[in-house]
Amino acid sequence: MRVAAVQLTAGPDRFENLCVANDLVWQAYEEDAELIVLPELFGVMGDRATFLANAEPLDGPTVQWAREQTSSHGVWLLAGSFVEDLGDGRLANTSCLVSPKGELAAVYRKIHLFDVTVPGAELHESATFTAGDEIVTANITSLAGEVVTVGMSTCYDVRFPELSRILALRGARIVVVPAAFTAATGPAHWEVLLRARAIENQCYVVAAGQTGESDPKRRWHGHSMIIDPWGRVLADAGTEPGVIVVDADLPEIERVRAVLPSLANRRPDAYRWPSATGAAPIPDTAPTPDSEGRPTP
């Protein structure tokens, strides 16, 4: 299956952002991509006021745009995420998987919200968004007729291996990671985390990120990546807007799992969460980071 990750820089103007995304989706389509992944909040990026002003329902302009893209091009599109209006003043950071027929195949609301203060980045997503609580997989069909299970996640989710492991155990062979990973944490963490998720779950990871600056307070790492089940980076978009496209060799998943059967060798009967064993709990308050963003006692 030929997969693509789109990299761009979104701002507060939805129309302008969708025009840019339109051109990049077209480029991926021209390169014969079957599954195209867009970044987190690709339609609108900004502060809380911007998100509130641009919140929309599932049948709003962003999803409608995504449906038009897929029905025109005959591709699967992961509409990275947009600001969904849940009603009652609540918003969600929501990703939609849209089929080649323009149908809504799956909806995922970001579970782990980015509430972090490190030098160069201070974001408190929970002040704006309501966390999702449903883990989502969906089946897509390649041009060759093979059914492939896709696991959905968003940005900060990549730091929580429990989520991607459950996706893999539910059959995910491709995990998508639309993201707006900060320039402050990206150099040290982005590639390492993505490769770890691919290696430990022996699946493909398609990570589409934002790049550049949306505004002086929102600087992004870029480096959208496609990674294979052995943990090899097959494509890296660097720091410029653009598209990366790779042929995902799906039988490679079975070959890797046969050679190194770590998923088959799991021992769930021996696993105990710390609360069940009397271990000391992790404190609710995170330690203050030092000048390089590392936690201090």
Nearest Cα to Cα of residue 35 among 180, 158, 151: 151
The DSSP output letter for 263 is: T
Q: Any alpha helices (H) in 59-203, and if so which ranges? A: 61-73, 161-169, 186-201
Q: Are 243 and 31 in contact (CB under 8 A)?
A: yes
Q: Any alpha helices (H) in the chain, and if so which ranges? A: 14-30, 48-54, 61-73, 161-169, 186-201, 251-259, 274-277
The structure tokens listed for 47 are 């502060």
Q: Are 203 and 248 in contact (CB under 8 A)?
A: no
The structure tokens listed for 169 are 């155990």
Could you give the residue numbers annotated as active site?
A: 40, 110, 155
The structure tokens listed for 244 are 């990366």
Amino acid sitting at position 225: M
How far is Cα 125 from Cα 284, in angstroms, rounded to an integer?
A: 17
For residues 53-69, b (16+ Cβ closer than 10 Å) or e, as one string?
Answer: ebbbebebebbebbbeb
